[in-house]
Amino acid sequence: MQPALSDPDNVHAAPGYSFPYLGGDATYVILPAVVMERDCLLKYEGDAFFMGSLAEPVSCIVGGFHVNYHTAPGSYEHQMGIRAGGNTALLAGVGPMGLGAIDYALHSDRRPGLLVVTDIDEARLARAAALYPPDEARRQGVELRYLNTKDMPDAPGALRAQTEDGRGFDDVFVYAPVAPVVEQADAILAYDGCLNFFAGPTDSAFAARFNFYNVHYMATHVAGNSGGNTDDMREALAMMAGGRLNPAAMITHVGGLDCVIDTTLRLPEIPGGKKLIYTHLSLPLTAVDEVGRRIDPALGAIVEKYDGLWNPEAEAWLLAHGRPLPGGKEGNA
């Protein structure tokens, strides 16, 4: 379901927050008519429920790649999307959404020729490189490089050096709302480069320095999106169902409906990425890499078989062997 609903006055209404019988954490829900009227109940044909649950965050990633734009000299027409075959950088790009962006950049119809992914956490960079190795990217026609910019005296210079003749990047995505990262992104833009400020800040006064000389003479510009539209979600669903995208890297914890309250209250304290809730099961919130120890060794063995990622086989095992909610009915996630 596309959750970005709005009424005729363009007031946002979201499942889980705005309707009395459409809760975000419930075993069963009643869909209001507006969901069908806006064509927001979408068909999903994948082989695992958890991928469908990630359709909305994946659609945000898809929207980010679509909202970027470029121009041609002498024309005012915006050519939407990243530059095909161009240079793309994902800064602070190995968090949950950054991993999804790497996956999409490598497997979408419009791909960059060079993809540089940066972060300051070596362990997270190593995990990203294991999930999306450069050799696999080359088979998709993309030169993929990972860089730790933590101790670089001149990170923008080092990043520009990754591009031919140091020309810079056509598309730069900022995946952390940190002013120095935004300024680093600005400094590596090529002519007609598009900076996508993807990360949503909580500070309404968030600001960063931007080179307006380059805006005037180099046609650099900024784009951003808060969520994806329904077409973005359809694309996400189709790519997941077709096996072109696997968003499992986003998921770091699984749990049942009875752990939701505590998890929600403590969310800022819990490390990792997405917390996946199976709404028909009773299960404490459990890190994916601990399911073998805390739930069952058989489940742990399945996860290990898939490089430590949650997967359709693990989900099927959990639905078959997990404990139903007290007083509830067995069913789907």
Q: Are the C-beta atoms of residues 131 and 307 closer than 8 Å to each other?
A: yes
pLDDT at 242 over 50: yes
Query: Sorting pLDDT into bands at 50, 70 and 90, what band is 7?
Result: low
Residue 120's contacts (CB-CB under 8 Å, 6 or more residues apart) are 92, 148, 149, 150
pLDDT at 332 over 50: no
The three-state secondary structure class of 12 is strand
pLDDT at 47 over 50: yes
**Amino acid of residue 151:** D
Query: Sorting pLDDT into bands at 50, 70 and 90, what band is 329?
Result: low
pLDDT tens-digit series, residues 141-168: 999 999 999 999 999 999 999 999 999 9
pLDDT at 320 over 80: yes
Residue 136's contacts (CB-CB under 8 Å, 6 or more residues apart) are 106
pLDDT tens-digit series, residues 205-218: 999 999 999 999 99
pLDDT at 134 over 80: yes
**Amino acid of residue 168:** G
Delineate the domains of the chain, giving CATH numbers in brackets: 70-223 (3.40.50.720), 249-324 (no CATH)
Q: What mean pLDDT comes out for the span 89-95? A: 96
Rounded-to-integer distance, Cα 216 and Cα 68, Å: 18
